[in-house]
Structure 1
Amino acid sequence: MQKDLVNKVAADLFSIPALSSRIVRSKFTKVALANIEVSMTPLHFEILNLISEEGSLPVFEIGKRLVLAKAHMTQRVDKLVENEMVRREPDLSDRRVTRITLTDPGRQGMDSLYSIISDALEQALSSLSETDLMELSASLNKIRNILPKMMHS
């Protein structure tokens, strides 16, 4: 019984990031990206979001985290550099490595996108009943409290 429950929870846990990412990317990110001046795909947004969260990152690390081949990374980063959203910088500790950093316009663009996505998300959440919102909030709080326990086992 315990093993079955563990398997079910593992499958459920594995599905949550993909599901939430797909919902946010398809419904909210695309809407936000359609309302900005710069031509950008959801994948460009994911790259910018990762750099925004982590600071400067090597190109290979971004590709690894987003599961993208180096050729795809080069094309995506080239487009972001062309749009002045990021810049390439040499790594100070390893000159073979190129790091990608948000520019000021990139940071401002991300702030604007976060605001648009947040507004769209709030609007979508407002369509839920109060009961659904309370259950969702409680569930997310439980997940946020329980997941760190897995790190210590």
Structure 2
Amino acid sequence: MDEEKLSEILDGLLILYQLIQKNIFKPNPIGNGIKMSFTIHFILLTLKSVNKLPISETGKLMCIKKQNMTYIADKLVENGLIRRVPDLNDRRVINIIITDKGKEYVNEWQKNRINIMRQNFTCFDDEDLKTMNKSVDNIKYALSKIHND
């Protein structure tokens, strides 16, 4: 691939990431005023779908260093959103599980996030939305080809 074109694509993706973070996924407090980053919401969403994960595996999935993941887990436990559970097969492994409060928090966050996004998207007409939908589909398709084993 042409190096100049690749650099242009990568620069564009970084800008896209920053725009999405700034305009769509900025932290927002829910109910109790806990303000959390999208990464933390993604951790809770992941735990909601898989039930439990070792802290170390969760950190790897999120590209978070072990000491940072421990700090995040401490904060989530402190807020009652997750709990730590020893692994029955390996005493060295500590799993984290989302609590009912954590599930409620994620559900509220998703509802709130969708409402905010709907409000942000009112500036687009039907043609803009069709173009954006096609662009998102293209990006999802292209990125699904990347293998990070």
Q: Bigger CA drift: 89-98 or 58-67?
A: 58-67
The more displaced of 1-10 and 105-114 is 1-10
> Matches of 1:69 and 1:147 in 2, distance apart?
24
Distance 1:40 1:91, change over 3 A: farther
> After the TM superposition, which of the residue ranges 119-128 and 89-98 deviates more from structure 2?
89-98
2:34 is matched with 39
TM normalised by structure 1 equals: 0.75
Give the CA deviation at 1:131. Answer: 2.6
Gaps of 5+ in 1: none
Q: Quick one: distance in 1 between partners of 2:34 and 2:3?
A: 48
Unaligned residue ranges in structure 2 (runs of 5+): none
- What is the RMSD computed on CA atoms of the aligned residues? 2.6
The superposition leaves residues 102-134 of structure 1 with CA deviations (integer Å, 9 ceiling, x where unpaired) of 112211221111011011111111122333222
Which has more helix, going by share of residues? Answer: 1
Pair 1:59-2:71 in alignment: no
Cα drift, residue 38 of structure 1:
5.4
Q: One-letter code of the match for 2:32?
A: E
Tell me which amino acid in the other structure corresponds to 1:11: D
Q: CA deviation at 1:63?
A: 2.9
On the 8 A contact 1:38/1:83 being kept in 2, the answer is no
TM-score, normalization by structure 2: 0.77
Mapped to 2, the partners of 1:53 and 1:23 lie a distance apart of: 26
Aligned mates of 1:60, 1:92 — CA distance in 2: 16
The answer to whether the 8 A contact 1:87-1:103 is kept is yes
**Equivalence for 2:73:** 77
The Cα of 1:53 is off from its aligned counterpart by 4.4
2:84 alignment partner, SS class: strand
